[in-house]
Structure 1
Amino acid sequence: MEVVGPRKRTTTAVAFSLGFGIGLLALPGFAWVFQDWRHLQAVISVPLVIFVAWSWYLPESPRWLVAKGKLKKARKVLLQAGVANNIEIKNVDSIIEQLRRKITEQDEA
């Protein structure tokens, strides 16, 4: 959620939640097809296995990296995000400084 712009955060949150709801709606159908609980468990575990494997390839959020003092890695992640979205990010250092200020303000509050 931290790497999604403010205008798209609601849509992204709903998209994440939809997966859970769709899974609950699909579960009775899977239970009807796979009546042995072991087979059912294997089938419904596939998305979890895929998600866990996928999570190893996801970069840490720039905000978290800045909070932990990993500024070079945060810069790299921001630049990679720009490349992935076909956006040239010219002010990476100012973005990192803004993140650093916001984190400091939140820590002091």
Structure 2
Amino acid sequence: MRYYYFWRMIYTGIFIGLLVILGGCIDRIIEIEESNTYHWQKNMNQTEFEQLKEGMTYLEVIEIAGGPGEKVRDNHYRWDDEILLTQAYIVQFKDEKLLSKEIIIVKGHSTRK
């Protein structure tokens, strides 16, 4: 019975520690977004994209871009371009490190002929 309470306390401590760590990351993302003067600044631009280097963490990429990306599939995040409506940036992570990046063409929804 003693061991049950001992391990329960250990697991509770680990859980609380993880919550504190995750809470700190979320607070940092909110802080980064709130530092933008304009809403569109949470997107990425070509200069910011070129600053991204292999091995960067997701939080480091957010700091450069000015906001979090949209998760499009496992470990792939997308940022729209701040200026061009015809391109976006896809960044892939593996083991929480930047693995690859690419520029994609975004097709519009125009119904004009």
Decide: shared fold, TM above 0.5: no
Normalised by the length of structure 1, the TM-score is 0.29
Larger fraction in helix: 1
Larger fraction in strand: 2
Normalised by the length of structure 2, the TM-score is 0.28
